[in-house]
Structure formats: structure tokens, C-alpha cells
Amino acid sequence: MEKERLDALLLTDPPHVRFFSGFKGSTALLFITRRSALLITDGRYRGESRSVQHVAVHIAKRSLFEALGKKVHLPPDSVVGIHERHASFADVQAMKFHLPGMKVRTAAKLIGSVTSVRSRRDLASQSTAVKLSEFVFGEILDMLRPGVREDEIAAEITYLHRRFGAERDAFEPIVASGPRSTLPHACPRGRKLRRGDLVVIDFGCVVGGFTSDIARTVSIGRPSRRVREMYDAVLEAQSRAIEAVADGVRGKEVDRAARDLLTSRGYGREFIHAAGHGLGIEVHEPPRISPRSNDILARGNVIAIEPGVYLPRVGGIRLEDDLIVTRSGAALLTHLPREMIIV
């Protein structure tokens, strides 16, 4: 904060409030100065707020921002950093109203530089999230056969995540089969799996506030030679990207490793999204791993690498694994086999 000339940080969204304070409720403000931290929530969360340590807690009677204005005594020209992608325009308006004269500064980069480096305890939580999702994938493999609906499989993923101790899904599970496998972000529908389908399954959960994010592509019945070639290209692209990961490398270099391989195999135009992303208290976090990302990977970042190829009349294939950036490279957190699964 000193380096960025910030007098305070104001966090308004639950994952960031939780990361910096331990408070798990869904309505709170966390105001951090160089010397202290203040959590403001409302009466519904009085009980939850008792577990917060090292942070002063205030229960607001009316609006949280009104209480913030009364409790904060910084000079009027103080500079307050906010996370510009998670603070709403209304949050900023309320802050300007209740902390008159203070200056708002965007601070997503600073905040991301703290949240994107994993402590040992937080890495243990995130590894558990990954292991739990891998276990769930093993369980649902038995379900995959012609006639089963996409949304049944998604429901089972969500159920097993929770049943075995996740707080929740990290995002709505994607189960996209047949022609729908070519939509990278398809919501599960009532479509039934058929022989000859490719099925992209992309899912993750939250443990201790940290996310997992895994994708595998399954062939229902024997795949064509064309599909095998596509799969090999995606698998190889993922390996290249993983090999490119190391402390100090730029996001775009990792993306390029995957993209160059796919382009060389003739699939450059069918790789229509970024090669990966940071993975932490949210599913998409810094560092960005995309064609134009100058973000620099740092030791302790957890990232997901997920190349994919989507061919309209053939199908979609995506593989996604999670890894932690180390001094000299990367260590995989996922241990599921990456070879094509044929059921």
C-alpha cells in the first residue's frame, strides 16, 4: 500500500473480504489502513462475525457505507484503493458520499498480487479442492453411457462435490455433448448422450475459499481417426503450455506455446479462447494467460491450463489441469490421466 501510495483499501465483494479477514458472510465491507482493519456487516451476520480475528468488527444498524463514514477518521484527501472489477458503481458512489473528499484509486493489480500468491495453508485447501473434484470425476465416469442426460451428470457432479465436503461448485458444471461440445461454455441441457459423442466435462469446487477447475473430454464409443488427431493436438498443446510455465514468464508466452502447437496442426482458428487463467479465490484471477497478457507468473501462483479445439461438424475437445508455479517450472495439482477416455 505504501508503494502504491494508498492510505486504505476498501473491499466490498465476499471472496476478497474473506481472503483478507476470514469473514464468510455475504454482506460486508472491509476497510484496511496501514495500521488496522475494520469489518462492517449487519445484524444477520453477528454470529458469523464472532469468528473473525485481528480485525475490528462493527455491526451496522442502517447502511454499511453510512456506518463506514462514521467509523473512519482519515484526513479528507486520503487515497482509498478499490477492486474496480468487483466494486459496483453504486459502491463507489456510496463511498464518495460517506467518505467525502477521499480519492478513489483502482487497486485490482495490488490486490491480485496478494491474493494470487498461495500461502502453505491456502495451498492445502486448494489441493484438497482439486483432489475432491478428481474423486468426483472418477465417480461420474460410471454414469457416462448413451441415454444419460447432460443435466443429470451435472447434478451428480454438484451433489458429489457437496456430499464429500466442498462448500459449493466453483462454477456451474459444464457437460456439453455431441454438437453442443463445440460450445465452450454450454450450460447442461436435457440432451441425452449418444454413441459417437464427444462430451466435454468442465467443473470445479470450492474448499476453504479456494477453487479447483478441471476439464476432460470423453468419447462415447470408439472415436474416429479425425477425433484422435484433434485430441492428440490438444494434449500436446497443453503439455507445451505446461512446459512453458515458470516463475518470471509472461502469460502470453504460455498462451503462445499452446497456440503455436495447435496452429502447426491446423487448429489455430478453432482455438477460440485463452490458454488458461489464474485460479484462486475465484475461478478467473490474475495472472491472465491469454494472447496479449503481459502478466508475469510468480512462484506460488496457482493457474489452470486449458487449450481446446472446437470443430462444428466434428465436436469439441478441451483439457484443463491445475498447477502451481514453482521457481523453475510448475507442479501439477491435478493427477487424473490426460489421455483420451473412451467409454
Assess 26 for contact with its own copies (CB under 8 A). Answer: yes
Residue 85 one-letter amino acid: R
Question: CA–CA separation, 23 vs 16, rounded Å?
Answer: 10
**Cell digits for 115?**
491474493
Place of cell 514453482: 326
**Cell digits for 119?**
500461502
Binding residue for its own copies (CB under 8 A) from 34, 36, 43, 243? 43
Assess 141 for contact with its own copies (CB under 8 A). Answer: no
Q: Name which of residues 183 to 212 contact its own copies (CB under 8 A).
A: 183-187
Question: CA–CA separation, 169 vs 148, rounded Å?
Answer: 21
- Nearer CB in complex with its own copies: 43/266: 43
Q: Which stretch binds its own copies (CB under 8 A): 88-96, 132-140, 220-228, 298-306?
A: 88-96
- Nearer CB in complex with its own copies: 62/120: 62
Assess 159 for contact with its own copies (CB under 8 A). Answer: yes
Helix (H) or strand (E) holding 316: strand 315-318
**Cell digits for 52?**
473473525
Instruction: Quote the DSSP letter at residue 206.
Output: E
Q: Which stretch binds its own copies (CB under 8 A): 82-90, 216-224, 297-305, 321-329?
A: 82-90
Q: Which stretch binds its own copies (CB under 8 A): 14-22, 87-95, 112-120, 207-215?
A: 87-95
Q: Which residues contact 139 (CB under 8 A, 6 or more apart)?
A: 156, 160
Q: Which stretch binds its own copies (CB under 8 A): 41-49, 72-80, 121-129, 137-145?
A: 41-49
Question: CA–CA separation, 245 vs 326, rounded Å?
Answer: 9
Nearest approach, Cβ of residue 152 and its own copies (Å) = 7
Distance from CA of residue 84 to its chain's centroid?
17
Helix (H) or strand (E) holding 21: helix 14-21
Phi/psi region, residue 218 (left: phi>0; alpha: psi -120 to 50; beta: rest), is: beta
Binding residue for its own copies (CB under 8 A) from 155, 296, 341, 343? 155
Assess 273 for contact with its own copies (CB under 8 A). Answer: yes
Assess 106 for contact with its own copies (CB under 8 A). Answer: yes
Assess 101 for contact with its own copies (CB under 8 A). Answer: no
| Contacts with its own copies, residue ranges (CB under 8 A) | 24-26, 42-48, 62, 82, 84-93, 104, 106, 108, 151-152, 154-156, 158-159, 162-163, 165, 167-168, 172, 182-187, 272-273, 292
